[in-house]
Structure 1
Amino acid sequence: MARIRTKNFDLPIGMLRRVKGPHIYYTLDMGGKPRKEIPLGKDYFLALKKYSELRIQANIERPTMQAAIDRYRNEELPKQADNTQKIFKYDIKHVESYFGTAPLDEIKPVHIRKFLDKHRSTPTTANRCKRLFSTIFNNARGWGYTDAQNPCEGIRGHKLDKRTVYISDDLFNLVYKHASEPLKDAMELAYLTGQRPADALSMTEDDIVSGHLIIKQAKTKQPLRVVIQGQLKEVINRIHRRKHEYTIASGALLINTQGKRLTQAVLRNHFHEARDRAVAENPELESSIINFWFYDLRAKAADDTSDLLGEQKAADLLGHDDVKTTRRHYLRRGKIVVPTR
Structure 2
Amino acid sequence: MRRKTVSQGLPPNMIRRVRKLKSGKTWESYYYTGRNADGKPVEIPLGKDINAARRKWAELECMKIPADTTLMRLIFDRYELEVIPGKAPATQKENLRQLGILRKIFDGAPIDAITPQIVAQYRDQRGRQAATGANRELALLSHVWNMAREWGYTAGENPVRGVRRNKERPRDYYADDAVWDAVYGHASPELRDAMDLAYLTGQRPADVMKMRWADIQDGALEVRQNKTARYLRILLDGEDGRRTELGQLLDRIRGRERKIRSMYLVATPEGVPLNRGTLRLRFTLARQKAADALAEQGNEALAQRVLGFQFRDIRPKAASETDLNHASKLLGHTDRQITQTVYRRVGETVLPTR
Alignment equivalent of 2:329, drawn from 309, 316, 330 = 316
3-state SS, counterpart of residue 322 of structure 2: helix
Aligned to 2:125: 118
Matched-pair contact (CA < 8 Å) for 1:299–1:332? yes
Equivalence map 1:7-46=2 (5 Å) = none
- 1:270 lines up with 2:277 in the alignment: no
Matched-pair contact (CA < 8 Å) for 1:84–1:219? no
Deviation at 1:203, TM superposition (A): 0.6
Matched-pair contact (CA < 8 Å) for 2:174–2:316? yes
Deviation at 1:167, TM superposition (A): 1.2
CA–CA distance in structure 1, aligned partners of residues 274 and 53 of structure 2? 47
Equivalence map 1:278-297=2 (5 Å) = 278-283=290-295, 284=300, 285-297=302-314
CA–CA distance in structure 2, aligned partners of residues 258 and 206 of structure 1? 19
- 1:302 lines up with 2:319 in the alignment: yes
Aligned to 1:19: none
3-state SS, counterpart of residue 295 of structure 1: helix
3-state SS, counterpart of residue 222 of structure 2: strand
Deviation at 1:56, TM superposition (A): 8.8
What amino acid is the match of 1:274?
A: A
Deviation string for 1:106-147 (max 9, x for gaps)?
A: 011222223223322122222111110011111222232212
Aligned to 1:94: 101
Deviation string for 1:86-115 (max 9, x for gaps)?
A: 211221110122112211100112222232
- 1:147 lines up with 2:155 in the alignment: yes
Alignment equivalent of 1:206, drawn from 200, 214, 218 = 214
What amino acid is the match of 2:123?
A: L
- 1:237 lines up with 2:251 in the alignment: yes
Matched-pair contact (CA < 8 Å) for 2:266–2:273? yes
Aligned to 1:339: 352
Structure 2: unaligned runs, 5 residues or longer = 1-49, 57-64, 237-242
Matched-pair contact (CA < 8 Å) for 1:72–1:136? yes
Aligned to 1:81: 88
Identify if the C-alpha distance between structure 1 residues 123 and 256 changes in structure 2 by more than 3 Å, giving closer, same or farther.
farther
Matched-pair contact (CA < 8 Å) for 2:80–2:96? no
3-state SS, counterpart of residue 166 of structure 1: coil
Deviation string for 1:53-92 (max 9, x for gaps)?
A: 9999589734122232233233332332222222112211
Alignment equivalent of 1:135, drawn from 143, 150, 155 = 143
- TM-score between the two structures when normalised by the length of structure 2: 0.75
Identify if the C-alpha distance between structure 1 residues 89 and 258 changes in structure 2 by more than 3 Å, giving closer, same or farther.
farther
Aligned to 1:221: 229
Alignment equivalent of 2:186, drawn from 161, 164, 178 = 178
Aligned to 1:72: 79
Alignment equivalent of 1:258, drawn from 270, 278, 284 = 270
CA RMSD of aligned residues (A): 2.2
Structure with bigger RCO (C-alpha 8 Å, 6+ apart): 1
Aligned to 1:20: none
Matched-pair contact (CA < 8 Å) for 1:205–1:251? yes
Aligned to 2:16: none
CA–CA distance in structure 2, aligned partners of residues 143 and 65 of structure 1? 13
Structure 1: unaligned runs, 5 residues or longer = 1-52
Q: Bigger radius of gyration, 1 or 2?
A: 2
Matched-pair contact (CA < 8 Å) for 1:82–1:218? no
Alignment equivalent of 1:108, drawn from 115, 129, 135 = 115
Aligned to 2:66: 61
Equivalences, count? 284
